[in-house]
Structure 1
Amino acid sequence: MLYIVSALKPEAQAFVDHYKLKKSKLNNFTIFSNYNIRLIISGMGVENARLATQTLINNFDITDDDTYLNTGICGASRSYTIGELIECGGVNYNGIDHIFQENRPIISCVSEEVATPSYELADMESYGFYDAVIHNPAIKQFHIIKVVSDHFEPQKVGKEETKSLLFNVIDDINKIINF
């Protein structure tokens, strides 16, 4: 089973449309699923991502074949192109690097939208996801994969652009996670 955690509905909508996922509720969350995918919309922020990820962990049996994926958009420095797919190898949160895959970029998880180029990569949910999966030894496979949406100009990214950015890289994400 592939478990996907996305913060925003436009991020999730690309997967919903591509895989024809059906909508339901799980606790206070909206979840979309089919026979081999469960996608939950966490809402923005570390705590929301942690709670949504933990909700998936608590409500479904984990097998060795399961993959947990945190995906969505991120801001990035100009060394990255808009639409570029980034497989993260770690998360920096509160000044501490949490490395889980060597030789991959580290994303900074911040508490609010960033409008200045202070980071290489930044989002608002990756640490919450990471914190939930890393504390469950039954989870063998997890990924944080982001799509560059802007160069720290979040006001320029609309719902349709967000959906399109993710829709354009679904096949590439599948290759990375062997899905």
Structure 2
Amino acid sequence: MNKKNLRFVVALHIEAKSIISLYNLKKYKIRKKNFELYQNLGLNIWLVISGVGNINASEATKYLYQRSPINKKNIWINLGMAGSNNYNLGETFNIKKVTYKTKSYYTSTLVNNIISPGEIISVDKVEKEFSKQNVLYEMEAYGFIKEVEKFCDREQICIIKLISDNKKNAPTNFIKNTKFYINYNLENIEKLIDAHVKIASNINENNNSNLYLIQRKFNLTFSYRIILNDLVLNYQKIYPKNLLEKIIDESKDIKELINTLKNKIKIYTLRV
């Protein structure tokens, strides 16, 4: 059985119900109950019910990280409902940017073609004005993403939001409509998650120690890490380690570093 390696943070049980059923998650029984947890150990899938709000989402994310097995290939997912000025009820979005006051956070840049990309403004209380168009308003994504960024790459962060209400339609029959909207879009939600799983499967469990030097200087995305892992391994086969450290130190940005390594490897290949 292939492991999925998924970690869900979901505010409400009704928002999680379809996911619990899809992956056959069972309630995790613990003596001290801080947050409600569900799991499928065979697939390495865990889900936490956080409750509403960024503070709860933040605490639940930390709790899930501490409780569930740590795996370099884990995909962290925040699924839930959101409001909007102009988007239609039930529309589903693959969130690429989360803004909270003056702070902005970003998710994977690699998976863009299954569910429409969108942007979130995360707020601390229920939004009723929806002053900006072409964005979603919600209350958990900031608390979620500010925590997961501490222990995984952007390419392993997935935020999925569905429209529950907009300028013209109040969130009436929330439970019934939430269940319908998520079930209706569940096939595409699963495809989006599987696309992230496929990308994460390329993560090399073996540490390349020299990547730490690069990570320390540059904030690497998953895609850059994959590129640099191969380049560094090839470079080390033909040049001394101290030369690599010098190149890293002298590089002004990640693109300059990549180009320098490619050119050095190319020059050596031409000589041979």
Normalised TM-score (structure 2): 0.60
Distance 1:127 1:117 in 2: 18
Which of 59, 78, 81 matches 1:73?
Answer: 81
Which structure has the higher relative contact order (CA within 8 Å, separation 6+)? 1
Please report how far the alpha carbon of residue 25 of structure 1 lies from its aligned counterpart in structure 2 after TM superposition: 4.3
- Give 2:130's aligned amino acid: P
- Offset of 1:88 from its aligned partner? 0.6
* Residue 146 of structure 1: aligned partner: 161
Contact 1:85 1:145 survives alignment (8 Å): yes
Q: CA deviation at 1:70?
A: 0.3
Task: Choose from 1, 11, 14 the match for 1:10.
Answer: 14
* Aligned-partner residue type, residue 175 of structure 1: K
1:95 matched to 2:102: yes
Matched residues, percent identical? 31
Give matches, 1:157-172, under 5 Å.
Answer: 157-172=173-188
Gaps of 5+ in 2: 198-272
Query: How far 1:154 moved relative to its partner?
Result: 4.7
Q: CA RMSD in A?
A: 2.1
Structure 1 runs of 4+ with >6 Å offset: none
Match of 2:223 in 1: none
Q: Give the whole-Å Cα distance in 2 for the aligned partners of 1:154 and 1:51.
A: 29
108, 111, 122: which one pairs with 2:137?
Answer: 122
Q: Which residue of 1 aligns with 2:23?
A: 19
Which structure is higher in helix share? 2
State the Cα distance separating 1:135 from its structure 2 match.
1.0
Structure 1 residue 90, shift from structure 2 partner: 1.2
Provide the rounded CA distance (Å) in 2 between the counterparts of 1:63 and 1:95: 32
Q: Which has the larger radius of gyration?
A: 2
Q: Which amino acid aligns with 2:18?
A: A
Task: Please say if residues 66 and 139 of structure 1, whose CA atoms lie closer than 8 Å, have aligned partners that are also in contact.
Answer: no
Query: For residue 107 of structure 1, what is the aligned residue in structure 2?
Result: 120
Q: Is the 8 A contact 1:12 1:163 kept in 2?
A: no
Paired letter, 2:163: V
- Amino acid in structure 2 at the alignment position of 1:14: S
Stretch moving more, 40-49 or 111-120? 111-120
Return the match for 1:132 from 140, 144, 147.
147
Between Structure 1 and Structure 2, which shows a larger proportion of strand residues?
1
Shift of 1:47: 0.8
